[in-house]
Structure 1
Amino acid sequence: MSTLREVGDRESWRCWLCDEPVDPDMSVNDPRGPSIDSVVTAKKAKAKGGVERLAHRACNTKKGAVKPVVPWPDRLFVVDPAPIIGVVEQLGRKGGRVAVARCPGKSDAEDASEWLLDRLSRLAPELDVETQIDAAGGAFLLVLRLRHP
């Protein structure tokens, strides 16, 4: 088990759930204070291990022992957005490509693509992904796929 400082330094003192900065000097009892979230995936559970990620105390408490949800920002115009954690796990297991959202305009899809790639660079830095925008029935489909399958 790592120390809070080790996990915080590795995560650049950003909450893996909300992607906001975490103050390393704030009390661990404060809702915005640092805490370690032990994330256990199905693959890691079989190996009796997990991944330690940095989270705000409130984000970690809110998540509890359920599968985490990484929200899409309200500023993006996306329809039927896919759950980001599930998509990351699926691409990590199977590779391929996953449709992650529909957008009414191409610029909406480009904005969502830019945000998603930036967010995944911190959420799952080991995953080498790229996006593709496909015209589909008057809207635009945002697809995420492994860069090197």
Structure 2
Amino acid sequence: MSKMDEVGERESWRCWLCDEPVDPDMSVNDPRGPSIDSINTAKKGKGGPERLAHRACNTKKGAVKPVVPWSDALFVIDPAPIIGVVEQLTRKPGRVAVARCPSKSDAQDASDWLLDRLSRLAPELTLETKIEPGGGGFLLVVSR
């Protein structure tokens, strides 16, 4: 089994950046083709795990810190950068407020989506969410 196949199987053939399917049979030179991205989310000088990405997503990211977007289907206000939340909770257990939502059902939708996304982005972390009322809305908090 090639390294690409190993990483692809582990990642369920989904791009870690855009969360869309990656076709294992597509050419690695095609923008939607598979590529391996070495995430550098650990301390400076220490590489992180190798993850599956579309060639275009990996190229677009380049040498800058990656951005994992929140779903456009969610109604969230002031969403926290997902990679930053993962880095913070990897370094030290605790809790991080990640977004505000106007209704409890919006917060629940965001919670369900975020836990699913984080379980694939950082499978080594055991995270949970809590929805807290306040300020005329609801705060979504992630904790480890």
TM-score by length of 2: 0.95
Q: Distance in 1 between matches of 2:53 and 2:92?
A: 28
For 1:133, give the aligned amino acid: I
Change (3 A) 1:49 1:101: closer
Moved beyond 3 Å, runs of 4+:
none
| Counterpart selection for 1:68 from 55, 66, 80 | 66
Aligned counterpart, 1:81: 79
* Secondary structure of the corresponding residue to residue 55 of structure 1: strand
* Secondary structure of the corresponding residue to residue 29 of structure 1: coil
* Secondary structure of the corresponding residue to residue 36 of structure 2: strand
Aligned counterpart, 2:113: 115
* Secondary structure of the corresponding residue to residue 88 of structure 2: helix
Q: Distance in 2 between matches of 1:64 and 1:41?
A: 14
Aligned counterpart, 1:38: 38
Equivalences, count: 143
For 1:23, give the aligned amino acid: D
For 1:8, give the aligned amino acid: G
In the TM superposition, what whole-angstrom CA distance separates every residue of 1:106-131 from its partner, at most 9, and x where no partner exists? 11000000000011110111110000
* Secondary structure of the corresponding residue to residue 60 of structure 1: helix
Q: Distance in 1 between matches of 2:26 and 2:104?
A: 42
Percent identity, aligned pairs only, is 81
Residue 124 (1) aligns with residue 122 (2):
yes
Q: Distance in 2 between matches of 1:23 and 1:92?
A: 30
Structure 2 unaligned runs (5+)?
Answer: none
Structure 1 unaligned runs (5+)?
Answer: none
* Secondary structure of the corresponding residue to residue 125 of structure 2: coil
